[in-house]
Amino acid sequence: MKIAVFGLGYVGMTAAACLSKLGHEVIGVDVSDEKVAIVNAGKSPITEPGLDELIARAARKGLLSATKDPGGNLDDCAMAIVCVGTPSAPDGSHNMSFVVEVSHHIAELVGPHRATPLTIVFRSTMRPGTIEELVLPIFEDTLRDRIGLVELVYNPEFLRESVAIQDFFNPPKIVIGTKDGQRCAALDELNASIDAPVFYTTYRAAEMTKFVDNTFHAVKIAFANEVGRVCDRLGISAVTVHKIFTSDTKLNISPYYLRPGGAFGGSCLPKDVRALQYIASDVGAHTHLVDSLLRSNDAHKNFLFENCLKAVPAGGQVLMLGLAFKENSDDLRESPNIDLARKFLQSNIHLSIYDPHVEPSKLLGQNLGYAFSNLPALRKLLIARSVAESELFDLVVDTRGWAKNMALRTKWIIDVNTLS
CA 7, 8, 11, 13 torsion: positive or negative? positive
For residues 264 and 93, what is the distance between their CA atoms, to the nearest angstrom?
19
Q: Is 380 exposed, middle or buried (0-12, 13-18, 19+ CB in 10 A)?
A: exposed
Residue 81's CB: how many other CB atoms inside 10 A?
Answer: 26
Residue 399 confidence (pLDDT): 92
Q: What are phi and psi of 29, to 5 degrees?
A: -125, 125
CATH of domain 212-415: 3.40.50.720
Provide the pLDDT for residue 41. 96
Let me know if 346 is exposed, middle or buried by CB neighbors in 10 A (0-12, 13-18, 19+).
exposed
In this structure, the number of other CB atoms found within 10 A of the CB of residue 94 comes to 23
- Please indicate whether residue 184 is annotated as part of the active site: no
Torsion of the alpha carbons at 320, 324, 328 and 331, rounded to the nearest 10:
-160
pLDDT of residue 253: 73
DSSP 3-state of 172: coil
Catalytic residue among 184, 231, 268, 308: 268
Sign of CA dihedral 265, 271, 274, 280: negative
- φ, ψ dihedrals at 254, nearest 5°: -65, 155
- pLDDT value of position 229: 87
**pLDDT score for 151:** 97
Cβ proximity of 67 and 29 under 8 Å = yes
- Give alpha helix (H) positions in 22-163: 33-40, 51-60, 97-109, 130, 136-143
CB atoms within 10 A of CB 407: 9
How far is Cα 266 from Cα 273, in angstroms, rounded to an integer? 12
Angle between helices 97-109 and 136-143 (to 10 degrees): 30
Q: Which of 398, 414, 402 is nearest to 309 (CA)?
A: 414
Instruction: Compute CA distances 61 → 35, 42, 55, 58, 331, whole Å.
Output: 20, 11, 10, 5, 29
User: Angle at CA 367, nearest 5°, toward 326 and 370?
Assistant: 105
SS3 367: helix
Region of 127 on the Ramachandran plot (φ > 0 left; ψ -120 to 50 alpha; else beta): beta
Q: What architecture is the 2-196 domain classified under in CATH?
A: 3-Layer(aba) Sandwich (3.40)
The residues of the chain scoring below 50 in pLDDT are: none
Q: Is the pTM higher than 0.75?
A: yes
The domains of the chain are located at 2-196, 212-415
CB neighbours of residue 239 within 10 Å: 16
Q: Could you tell me how many residues make up the chain?
A: 420
For 104-154, the pLDDT digits (tens) are 999 999 988 888 999 999 998 899 999 999 999 999 999 999 999 999 999
